[in-house]
């Protein structure tokens, strides 16, 4: 039985049937970590010992013929902006280097209570600001499929390189989905309110959500059952539990997928051709493409950045090194603040602080912030119109494959990476990205965007597409 | 809009980040780059368009107005380097 190719759902079944032990799974993940983490730099903190203890507890239950918890012994990683009690929660920044969390995020606690074995905390861009890990205060995460390229997120590298079977990670404007597409795995960013954000350190309170990464689509079903549902500590969570999320779409004889040509035309040739040459794949899954138009989609990215830069300025104001986090001494409080924030924030965090303060000042607030709020309405209306005649939308995830790590881009060129994901985040819709083919051995992924709370439909359709596409990727190490 | 060094010094004061002369120049450059990148937004007519202020669908469900003791409050206090008798100790704010 190959631990590296099975899904988490298959592994849980195998543990239940006593075909494998949870300890074997975790030991396999630890071996992969020991062998690959020096090169990949996917995890900032490794908690392998805790994972082994969790696996042993699961094996003990199985030996005693007790009920197996739903995530019994599955190795998973957590992005370093989701709190895990007793472990540093760095959020990718030096400002929080020694920030040992006194509690666990709701979604993390639910996973542990369900038997999940946490392997560690994954590298990320500082405060989540970026899509390459190049703004991380710690290191850059390499892509397991091409070591010269970025993984996008340490969590995606970990799942792709078999250091874990699943990952829990945040997504604000596409980080999780883009990383999944770079690393040849799947990423689910659910409808806002499906997964609690309690314990998530976000740079944008309005737009950051908690999502999931997996190698197989069926594992999202397993994780959603555990992760979704009302949490009194996050007022935005929905009372809908995983069992009431919609999965009716898959019953349709024909699934109408909106295909916005104007957006697909922006994708570079090898990627676009790959999708167009794979039309049969979608037809075989009962999908019928319908031409649609989203005239404000492009402006959505600009509005998104005005909103998140403004919120960054506001959200980062709490990091002053007094109540928690790293600090630099100052002769007075003002000097303490200024030195602490200058020396602990990286370039992008400092930039967003300045730019956010600029966008929100008295002279600019109406021009930029209010304009962005109005464009947000137009973007949401665009999607609502499309969903009157379509069951879902099919969109690109990125214009190009994972960027080369040595490639240098201006900050606005980096913002442009989110062009196909950020407008979907603005619209508050669930999206699932999955690889459907290859271009020069690198994954070509698409993004399925559904109506609110249609996660289960997207997952079940992805299971169908996954089986039909039959595309897999082997890490190079 | 023309940005001058004084504007940037005010920004630095607002965000409480120390900045050198060289950094002031860089901030001015970044502001112009951002403004130029955002320019296409202003060709969109948003007259009469209501702003979106909340992305979640549905009604806000509020919990009962009941005082609760935070279980981990002491652990949170312990994270501070200097916490005494219910207060965070900070460097002087007022100079005598």
Q: What is the pLDDT of residues B60-89, one digit of tens each?
A: 667 788 888 777 788 889 889 899 998 999
Residue A281 has pLDDT above 80, yes or no: yes
- Minimal CA–CA distance to A446: which of A129, A184, A158? A184
DSSP string over A353-370:
HHHHHHHTSTTTIIIIII
Min Cα separation A330/chain B (Å) = 7
Helix ranges (H only) for A345-452 are: 347-359, 371-389, 411-416, 422-427
Q: What is the mean pLDDT of residues A7-24?
A: 96
Residues from chain A contacting residue B62 (CB–CB below 8 Å) = 235
Q: What is residue B60's predicted lDDT score, i.e. its pLDDT?
A: 66
- Closest-CA distance of chain A to residue B70, Å: 11
Q: Which helix (H) or strand (E) holds A234?
A: none
Mean pLDDT of A378-385: 98
Task: Choose among A324, A380, A412: nearest Cβ to B37.
Answer: A412
Q: A321-349: per-residue pLDDT in tens? A: 999 999 999 999 999 999 999 999 999 99
What is the predicted pLDDT for the residue at A243? 73
pLDDT tops 90 at residue A396: yes
Q: Which position has the higher pLDDT, A236 or A431?
A: A431
pLDDT band at A382; cut points 50, 70, 90: very high
pLDDT above 90 (res A248): no
Chain B residue closest to A239 (CA)? B61
The predicted pLDDT at position A57 comes to 97
- What the block records as the tokens of A454 is 């249609």
* Distant-in-sequence, close-in-space partners of B94: CB < 8 Å, separation ≥ 6: none
Query: Which of A118-122, A261-265, B59-63, B91-95 has the highest mean predicted lDDT (pLDDT)?
Result: A118-122
Q: What value of ipTM does the predicted structure carry?
A: 0.94
Q: Which residue of B has its CA nearest to A360?
A: B11
Region A411-417 average pLDDT: 97
Percentage of residues in chain A having pLDDT higher than 70: 100
pLDDT of residue B58: 67
Interface touch A354/B15, C-beta < 8 Å: yes
Query: Would you state the pLDDT for residue A183?
Result: 98
Residue B28 C-alpha, separation from nearest chain A C-alpha, in angstroms: 10
Mean per-residue pLDDT of chain A: 95
Q: Kindly report, residue by residue over A156-213, the tens digit of the pLDDT.
A: 999 999 999 999 999 999 999 999 999 999 999 999 999 999 999 999 999 999 999 9
Residues 411-450 of A with CB under 8 A from B: 411-412, 415, 426, 428
B86 interfaces chain A, CB cutoff of 8 Å: no
Segment B14-36, tens digit of pLDDT: 999 999 999 999 999 999 999 99
Q: Give residue B61's pLDDT.
A: 67
Cβ A355 vs Cβ B34: under 8 Å? yes
Substitution target in A374, A413, A427, A454 with the highest count of B β-carbons within 10 Å is A374
Nearest CA to A30 out of A44, A16, A46 is that of: A46
Q: What is the DSSP string of A113-158?
A: HTT-EEEEEE--SGGG--SSSTT-SS-PPEETTEEEEE-SSHHHHH
The verdict on B68 touching A (C-beta cutoff 8 Å) is no
pLDDT for the residue numbered A98: 86
Calculate mean pLDDT across residues A78-90: 97
Least confident of A244-248, A379-383, B5-9: A244-248
Interface membership of B11 toward A (CB under 8 Å): yes
Q: Check whether A241 has a pLDDT greater than 90.
A: no
Which residue's entry shows tokens 């169908």?
Answer: A464
* Cα separation, A52 vs A125, whole angstroms: 28
**In terms of Cα–Cα distance, which of A86, A74, A89, A42 is closest to A34?**
A42
Please answer whether residues A387 and A451 qualify as being in contact, where contact means their C-beta atoms are separated by less than 8 angstroms: yes
Query: How many Å apart are CA A206 and CA B53, to the nearest integer?
Result: 9
Q: For A17-67, write each residue's pLDDT tens digit.
A: 999 999 999 999 999 999 999 999 999 999 999 999 999 999 999 999 999
Q: Give dist(CA A87, CA A84) in Å, integer.
A: 6
């Amino acid at each position: 039985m190959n631990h590296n190719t099975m899904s988490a759902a298959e592994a849980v079944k195998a543990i239940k049937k006593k075909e494998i032990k949870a300890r074997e799974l975790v030991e396999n993940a630890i071996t992969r970590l020991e062998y690959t983490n020096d090169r990949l730099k996917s995890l900032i903190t490794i908690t392998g010992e805790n994972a082994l203890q969790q696996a042993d507890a699961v094996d003990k239950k199985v030996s005693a013929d007790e009920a197996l918890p739903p995530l019994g012994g599955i190795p998973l990683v957590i992005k370093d902006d989701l709190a895990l009690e007793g472990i540093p929660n760095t959020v990718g920044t030096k400002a929080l280097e020694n920030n040992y969390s006194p509690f666990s995020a709701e979604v993390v606690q639910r996973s542990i209570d369900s038997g999940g074995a946490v392997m560690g905390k994954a590298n990320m861009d500082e405060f989540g600001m970026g899509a390459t890990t190049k703004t991380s205060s710690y290191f850059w995460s390499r892509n397991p499929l091409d070591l010269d390229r970025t993984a996008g997120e340490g969590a995606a590298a970990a799942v792709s390189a078999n250091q874990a079977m699943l990952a829990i990670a945040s997504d604000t404007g596409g980080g999780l989905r883009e990383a999944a597409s770079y690393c040849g795995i799947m990423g689910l960013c659910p409808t806002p309110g499906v997964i609690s954000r309690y314990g998530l350190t976000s740079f944008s309170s309005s737009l950051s959500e908690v999502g999931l990464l997996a190698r197989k689509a069926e594992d999202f079903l397993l994780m959603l059952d555990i992760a979704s549902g009302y949490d009194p500590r996050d007022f935005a969570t929905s009372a809908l539990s995983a069992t009431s999320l919609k999965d009716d779409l898959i019953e349709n004889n024909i699934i109408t997928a909106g295909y916005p040509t104007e957006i697909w035309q922006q994708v570079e040739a090898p990627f676009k051709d790959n999708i167009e040459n794979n039309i049969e794949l979608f037809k075989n899954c009962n999908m019928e493409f319908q031409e649609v138009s989203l005239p404000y989609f492009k402006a959505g990215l600009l509005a998104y950045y005005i909103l998140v830069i403004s919120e960054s300025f506001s959200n980062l104001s709490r990091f002053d090194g007094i109540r928690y986090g790293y600090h630099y001494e100052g002769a007075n409080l003002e000097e303490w603040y200024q030195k602490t924030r200058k020396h602990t924030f990286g370039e992008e965090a400092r930039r967003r602080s300045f730019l956010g303060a600029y966008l929100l000042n008295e002279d600019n607030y109406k021009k930029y912030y209010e304009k962005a709020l109005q464009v947000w309405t137009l973007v949401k209306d665009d999607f609502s119109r499309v969903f009157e005649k379509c069951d879902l939308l099919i969109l690109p995830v990125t214009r190009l494959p994972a960027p080369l790590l040595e490639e240098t881009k201006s900050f606005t060129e980096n913002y442009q990476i989110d062009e196909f994901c950020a407008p979907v985040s603005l619209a508050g819709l669930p999206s699932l990205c999955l690889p459907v083919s290859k271009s020069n051995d690198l994954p070509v992924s698409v993004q399925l965007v559904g109506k609110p709370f249609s996660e289960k439909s997207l997952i079940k359709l992805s299971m169908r597409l996954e089986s039909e596409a039959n595309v897999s990727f082997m890490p190079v190490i | 809009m023309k940005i001058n060094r004084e504007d940037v010094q005010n920004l630095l004061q607002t965000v409480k980040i120390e900045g050198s002369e060289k950094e002031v120049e860089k901030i001015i450059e970044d502001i112009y780059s951002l403004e130029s990148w955002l320019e296409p937004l202003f060709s969109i007519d948003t007259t009469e368009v209501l702003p979106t202020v909340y992305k979640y669908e549905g009604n806000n469900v509020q919990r009962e107005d009941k005082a609760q003791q935070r279980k981990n409050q002491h652990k949170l206090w312990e994270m501070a380097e200097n916490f005494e008798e219910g207060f965070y100790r900070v460097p002087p704010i007022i100079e005598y």
